[in-house]
Amino acid sequence: MTTFFTKFKESRFVKGIVYAVIGTITYPGINIFNKLQITGMENLHKLPKKNVLFVSNHQTYFAEVITFIHIFCAVSWRKKHGLGIPYYLLWPFTKIYYVAAEETMKKNWISRILSLGGAITVKRTWVKDGKEVRKSLDPSDTRKIERALNDNWVITFPQGTTKPFAPGRKGTAFIIKHHQPIVIPVVIGGYWRAFDKKGLKFKKRGTRLTITFKAPLQIDYNDTSENILEQVMDSIEQSKQYMLKGRHHVTN
């Protein structure tokens, strides 16, 4: 049963249906009721279709992931400067996975449906009794992410929380160091103002949502995991340096 569900969940056909349905429902909230501004979208056309890791800050559970899916599907239809009319949902790009907490994806029927869109569920081993702690990496979780990278684009949120300037997880650096993907930093803004924490309900309409895709990081894969993680956190503008300077998108 587990094998059947896994194959069903990973089916391109199933993901395509999920993307088309979810995309149609969510497009107005992303690009009509609110205004999406995308920077660096044209650079995504140069990327290979596998072993690309997008690292991003995080403001809601689902709204950013859904926006990523819209953008990647639009890119597959050669769009370079915005979503435009969402005809890309007629034949969506499905080589997308995203990392999400296991308990989040099991909370309700909506999250379970969204998990069919390519969720790589990981155990939140850094949380205990509601407090953040740092435990050793779960090898099974990293193997799932590495398998997904073999033939897909993968989205991950190194902080694992919507709290701004939370420290990054060492697991992200471990995957980068050992799998050596192309790493694309992404900085998002405005989502905390436009949506609730889940990212499925409006808080404020007319909000400018911003997504910036930066150039691939130049990473020394032989460097320490600590240094790689520091480089990643600085690139998504969540490092101590940005916190002290106040240069972050949360206040945009």
Strands (E), 88-198: 96-101, 119-122, 127-128, 131-132, 153-156, 182-189
Domain ranges of the chain: 12-251
End-to-end Cα distance, the chain = 47
pLDDT digits (tens, 9 = 90+) for 47-73: 999 999 999 999 999 999 999 999 999
The full DSSP string for 62-79 is SHHHHHHHHHHHHHHTT-
pLDDT at 244: 73
Q: What pLDDT, on a 0 to 100 scale, did the predictor assign at position 134? A: 46
Closest to 217 (Cα-Cα) out of 185, 247, 248, 246: 185
Helix (H) / strand (E) element for 36: namely strand 35-39
Alpha-carbon dihedral 114, 116, 122, 127, rounded to 10 degrees:
20
Q: Helices in 78-180 by DSSP H: which ranges?
A: 109-115, 139-149, 170-179
Class of domain 12-251 as given by CATH: alpha beta
User: Amino acid identity of 137?
Assistant: L
Other beta carbons within 10 Å of 226? 10
pLDDT in tens, the chain (252 residues): 445 545 555 678 999 999 999 999 999 999 999 999 999 998 899 999 999 999 999 999 999 999 999 999 999 999 998 999 999 999 999 999 999 988 888 877 888 888 999 999 888 655 555 555 544 457 788 889 999 999 999 999 999 889 999 999 988 999 999 999 999 999 999 999 999 999 989 999 999 999 999 999 999 999 999 999 999 999 999 987 787 766 544 444
Quote the pLDDT of residue 90.
95
pTM: 0.88
pLDDT digits (tens, 9 = 90+) for 91-107: 999 999 999 988 888 87
